[in-house]
Amino acid sequence: MQALQDVVHRFSQDRIRPLAGEIDRSNKFPDALWQELGQMGLLGITISGAHGGAEMGYLAHTVAIEEIARASASVALSYGAHSNLCVNQISLNGTKEQKQKYLPKLVSGHHIGALAMSEPAAGSDVVSMQLCAEKRNGYYRLNGSKYWITNGPDADTLVVYAKTDPEAGSKGITAFLIEKAMSGFSTSTHFDKLGMRGSNTAELIFEDVEVPFENVLGEEGKGAKVLMSGLDYERVVLSGIGTGIMAAC
């Protein structure tokens, strides 16, 4: 673990820290960092080696994000949204086919990942979400929006939660794998935020987006279970951003 910390510390201080001021001023994430993080094995740090991951676990993930946050909290937040909220969720809940399709490019940094739960009127209260997924013949039709989505304007693959049964409460939520290129899917320009600038955040817009059945992550109506299966890990890993900021002060 010490060896990992030393390697990530050197990379973060030598490569990320010199960029931190400009990241904040320009409110832009340095795209080249994604593949550099991928080459170091950090984007798939908890993922099976069969999909290019490092199989190092959540303590290692927390150590890595803490060191990145010591150099730039903005980079650390985007890194966490990609590697934990998206990649780790697919690893925990995806089918063999979904893992084979999405994980290699996400782990290498050739694709960027995100998770979309929050909406303008639904944050921690996930049951209040309004994004609707209507089941059709062979696909779901999604309409609505998500808000405050980290990596939203850049992501190629997104874990998105939507209502498949508005009357069923938490049992009416389903998780989907959304691709940036899907017709009807778009994003706003990234927000001009007060803090965490450069960790690109945006609104996601769904206008009759057709999502095939094979892009359901987990099972229909089990989206809340998918969400909760990763939440405890997310809380632990993302806490490293706070300790990294404190270590830098």
Query: Over the stretch 34-46, which tens digit does the pLDDT of each residue have?
Result: 999 999 999 999 9
| 211 and 162 in a common domain | yes
Residues 6+ positions from 239 with CB-CB distance below 8 Å: 62
Could you tell me if 198 and 240 lie in one domain?
no
Q: How confident is the model at residue 157 (pLDDT cuts 50, 70, 90)?
A: very high
Q: What is the pLDDT of residue 125?
A: 80
Same domain? 84 vs 123: no
Residues 130 and 202 in one domain: yes
**In terms of domains, do 127 and 87 share one?**
no
Tell me which of 58-62, 66-70, 81-85, 166-170 is least confident. Answer: 166-170
- Residue 105, Cβ neighbours under 10 Å: how many? 16
What CA–CA distances, in Å, run from 62 to 58, 141, 203? 6, 37, 28
Residues 145 and 156 in one domain: yes
3-state secondary structure of 115: strand
Could you tell me if 119 and 217 lie in one domain? yes
What range does the domain containing 154 cover?
113-223
Task: Show Cβ contacts of residue 144 under 8 Å, excluding neighbours closer than 6 positions.
Answer: 119, 130, 131, 132, 162, 206
Q: Give the tens place of pLDDT for each residue, 181-227.
A: 999 999 999 999 999 999 999 999 999 999 999 999 999 999 999 99
Active site amino acids: 234
Q: Residue 99's domain is classified under what CATH number?
A: 1.10.540.10
Give the C-alpha separation, 248 to 148, whole Å. 26
| DSSP letter for each residue of 154-209 | T-SEEEEEEES-TTSGGGGEEEEEEETTSTTEEEPPPP--SSSTTS-EEEEEEEEE
Query: Do 33 and 127 fall into the same domain?
Result: no
pLDDT band, very low/low/confident/very high, at 137 (cuts 50, 70, 90): very high
- The verdict on 239 and 215 lying in the same domain is no
| Same domain? 174 vs 118 | yes
pTM of the complete model: 0.96
Residues 47, 127 within the same domain: no
What CATH code is carried by the domain that includes residue 206?
2.40.110.10
The structural domain count of the chain equals: 2
Clarify whether residues 117 and 107 are in a common domain. Answer: no
Q: What's the rounded Cα separation, in Å, for the pair 229 and 236?
A: 13
